[in-house]
Structure 1
Amino acid sequence: MSTEPNTESTNFDDEDYPAYTMGRAAEMIGATPGFLRSLDEVKLISPQRSEGGHRRYSRYQLRLAARAREMVDQGTALEAACRIIILEDQLAEALRINSELRAPAELPTTADS
């Protein structure tokens, strides 16, 4: 019996693991492979490449792509949609970091008890 962790299930639990082919990714978000290529061109997402050179997408990248498709479908220009998504993502990360940095300061000390 192997004592090594099951990396396959660990990888699929990782939202940054490039698990999806271009065709499957496009199907999942209701877009075309060309739309996904355009997101790469405008630098919203940069899929990893398999050993054969095929694009592979993560769940995180698919969330961004689905948001872009939604905004484009509502009439937002692709470049503007991608810029908005990048800024939203940066803001969410900054808020997460801010929250983490504030958390230790909010814990009561033994002197406060």
Structure 2
Amino acid sequence: MVELPIDDADAALYTVGQVAAMLHVQVAFLRRLDELGAVVPIRSAGGQRRYSRREINRVAALMKLISEGLTLEGARRVLELQARVEELEADLDQARHHGRGLSAT
């Protein structure tokens, strides 16, 4: 099977206009997220913003939290904390797995 960029959640394939249309937001909103560091897309050689599926999902998650009453900064912080919890859970799983391997010897 051939691995294509469209299969990669981190492939920056979508323009700011495409993302705005997909998520029903203004381009200015996406630019603001970039300026604040909440969602920072890759820049093309010509300087245009290019978004990956992962970044699009992050914008959607921010929008959901904002619609629930959080400020943009609060929503950004929630997503950072969620990502950190996921990292810690993965580390814990790895440590548990490694610990089981040690006790078997």
TM-score between both structures, scaled by the size of structure 1: 0.78
3-state secondary structure, aligned to 2:39 = coil
**Which has the higher Rg, Structure 1 or Structure 2?**
1
The answer as to 2:94 corresponding to 1:100 is: yes
- The amino acid of 1:93's aligned partner reads E
2:37 to 32, 35, 43: 43
Q: Aligned partners of 1:73 and 1:34: how far apart in 2?
A: 17
Counterpart of 1:13 in structure 2 is 7
**Mean CA deviation greater in 94-103 or 55-64:** 94-103
The offset of 1:40, in angstroms, is 1.3
The offset of 1:15, in angstroms, is 1.1
The offset of 1:63, in angstroms, is 1.1
The offset of 1:101, in angstroms, is 2.9
1:27/1:103 Cα in 2 relative to 1: closer, same or farther (>3 Å)?
farther
Output one character per residue of 1:85-107: Cα deviation in whole Å (capped at 9) or x when no partner: 11111211221232123223235
- The amino acid of 1:51's aligned partner reads A
The answer as to 2:80 corresponding to 1:86 is: yes
Calculate the aligned-residue CA RMSD, in Å. 2.0
1:74 to 68, 73, 87: 68
Aligned residues: 104
Q: 5+ residue gaps in structure 2?
A: none
1:100/1:14 Cα in 2 relative to 1: closer, same or farther (>3 Å)?
farther
2:53 to 48, 56, 59: 59
